[in-house]
């Protein structure tokens, strides 16, 4: 999917609407009561048998524990983590993001919170902030967690992600080295892979992501996510057969995994099999409401001149993006990409690109978008300014190289 700007691939998705109620009468506790939100029923295609049963059982266990004891902060954190996973599996980001934050804030407000649980709550909160694309906030929260436990691999992963998104790449490399020295696993290998890609070592990136996949448990969602990322690297750099092989392997372990289905649709379109690709994207859309699938289909309709069908899809996409934005998700780059590449509205694309540039002017993807806008405006000198930053890590990203060749 070329029009959606990827954020760091290993960031976990989060969300669900929770409501903080009035404070308890017991002034000693100084903690608000909290009403946990309902779990959204998974579609049949993604229930995956016992996995959905386990999710429901865990949800019931955590919510009952919290209801019985307002100081059961471990259950609060575990419930927030369950919401995070469900957001990634179901695509219901707008439902799960705010609630995960709300319940974590509730735990952090408890004066009886232990340092160990405070560390877990802060680390989880930073992950939510990353998923909301609030990278400065995530870095601040992550640093607060690291003060409590500087030798934990998980918090180093959060700090890698935040520094990558803010354009602090040298710092991210050091943190990644520290992370993998503490715990070489699926998470640390994934970070190494992404940083290698950023620095132009595509083969090294593939090698590290292959190690990430091998270190995961077959069939687990996080392993499928790592495999998806490996396939996406192959796809992005033109190795379509390898990408298709990986995506099909995912479906062999997790049938109807929507992101693999959608990715196969993208590859089919790239291979010129547009009719098949359209059908496959619609299969993915029927499984979960992931905006990226809709944008890929809109791009295809635009290419084929099916303007009326594209317009209908654009209306749906705008509603989805607004829902994400209303739930606290920063979608500036997604809007910029949609307006520039699909709707060809340079003025609105520039507006959203500038909003994101003002938040993180050192990020290479943000500068790549700014350069794309400048090229469309025929402002080559301006484009060169942004390209100087976008190419500072020697990235071999095909879209970036295409922009360079256009000047």
- pLDDT of res. 13: 27
Cα separation, 223 vs 211, in Å, equals: 11
Cα separation, 333 vs 318, in Å, equals: 14
Would you write out the chain's pLDDT as a tens digit for each of its 407 residues? 443 434 333 333 222 222 222 233 333 444 556 777 689 999 888 888 788 999 999 999 999 999 999 999 999 999 999 999 999 888 888 888 888 999 999 999 999 999 999 999 999 999 999 999 999 999 999 999 999 999 999 999 999 999 999 999 999 999 999 999 999 999 999 999 999 999 999 999 999 999 999 999 998 999 999 999 999 999 999 999 999 999 999 999 999 999 999 999 999 999 999 999 999 999 999 999 899 999 999 999 999 999 999 999 999 999 999 999 999 999 999 999 999 999 999 999 999 999 999 999 999 999 999 999 999 999 999 999 999 999 999 999 999 999 999 98
Residue with tokens 């354009």: 167
Torsion of CA 244, 250, 252, 255, to 10 degrees: -110
Cα separation, 239 vs 4, in Å, equals: 20
Count Cα atoms within 13 angstroms, Cβ side, for 346.
Answer: 10
Cα separation, 108 vs 355, in Å, equals: 31
Domain 150-216 adopts which CATH fold? 1.25.40
- pLDDT of res. 31: 53
CATH no. of 331-407: 1.25.40
1-147 homologous superfamily: Tetratricopeptide repeat domain (1.25.40.10)
Residues of the chain with CATH 1.25.40.10: 1-147, 150-216
- Read off the tokens for 394: 């020697």
Which three-class secondary structure state does DSSP give residue 295? helix
Cα separation, 368 vs 26, in Å, equals: 54
pTM over 0.85: yes
Residue with tokens 């499928």: 224
> For residue 256, how many other CB atoms are within 10 A of its CB?
18
- What b/e readout covers 85-122, taking b as 16+ CB neighbours within 10 angstroms? bbbbbbbbbbbbbbbbbbbbbbbbbbeebeeebbbbbb
Closest CA to 12 of 82, 88, 86: 88
């Amino acid at each position: 999917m070329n029009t959606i700007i990827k954020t760091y691939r290993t960031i976990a998705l989060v969300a669900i609407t929770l409501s903080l109620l009035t404070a308890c009468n017991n002034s000693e506790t100084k903690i608000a009561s909290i009403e946990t939100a309902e779990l959204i029923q998974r579609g049949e295609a993604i229930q995956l048998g016992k996995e959905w049963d386990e999710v429901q059982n865990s949800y019931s266990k955590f919510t009952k524990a919290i209801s019985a004891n307002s100081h059961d902060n471990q259950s609060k954190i575990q419930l927030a983590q369950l919401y995070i996973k469900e957001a990634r599996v179901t695509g219901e980001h707008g439902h799960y993001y705010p609630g995960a934050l709300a319940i974590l804030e509730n735990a952090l407000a408890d004066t009886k919170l232990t340092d160990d649980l405070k560390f877990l709550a802060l680390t989880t909160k930073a992950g939510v902030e990353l998923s909301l694309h609030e990278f400065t906030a995530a870095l601040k929260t992550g640093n607060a967690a690291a003060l409590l436990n500087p030798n934990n691999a998980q918090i180093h992963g959060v700090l890698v992600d935040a520094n990558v998104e803010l354009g602090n790449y040298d710092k991210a490399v050091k943190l990644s080295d520290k992370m993998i020295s503490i715990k070489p696993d699926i998470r640390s290998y994934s970070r190494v892979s992404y940083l290698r890609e950023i620095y132009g070592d595509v083969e090294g990136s593939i090698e590290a992501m292959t190690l990430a996949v091998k270190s995961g448990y077959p069939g687990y969602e996080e392993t499928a996510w790592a495999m998806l990322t490996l396939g996406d690297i192959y796809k992005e750099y033109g190795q379509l057969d390898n990408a298709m092989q990986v995506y099909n392997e995912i479906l062999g372990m997790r049938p109807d995994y929507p992101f693999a289905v959608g990715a196969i649709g993208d590859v089919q379109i790239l291979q010129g099999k547009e009719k098949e690709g359209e059908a496959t994207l619609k299969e993915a859309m029927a499984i979960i409401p992931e905006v990226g699938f809709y944008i890929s289909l809109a791009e295809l309709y635009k290419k084929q001149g099916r303007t009326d069908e594209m317009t209908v899809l654009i209306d749906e996409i705008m509603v989805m993006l607004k829902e994400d934005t209303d739930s606290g998700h920063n979608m500036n780059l997604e809007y910029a990409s949609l307006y520039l590449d699909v709707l060809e509205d340079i003025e609105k694309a520039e507006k959203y690109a500038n909003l994101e540039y003002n938040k993180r002017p050192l990020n290479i993807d943000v500068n790549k978008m700014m350069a794309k806008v400048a090229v469309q405006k025929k402002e080559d000198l301006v484009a060169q300014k942004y390209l100087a930053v976008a190419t500072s890590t020697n990235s071999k990203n095909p879209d970036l190289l295409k922009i360079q060749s256009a000047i």
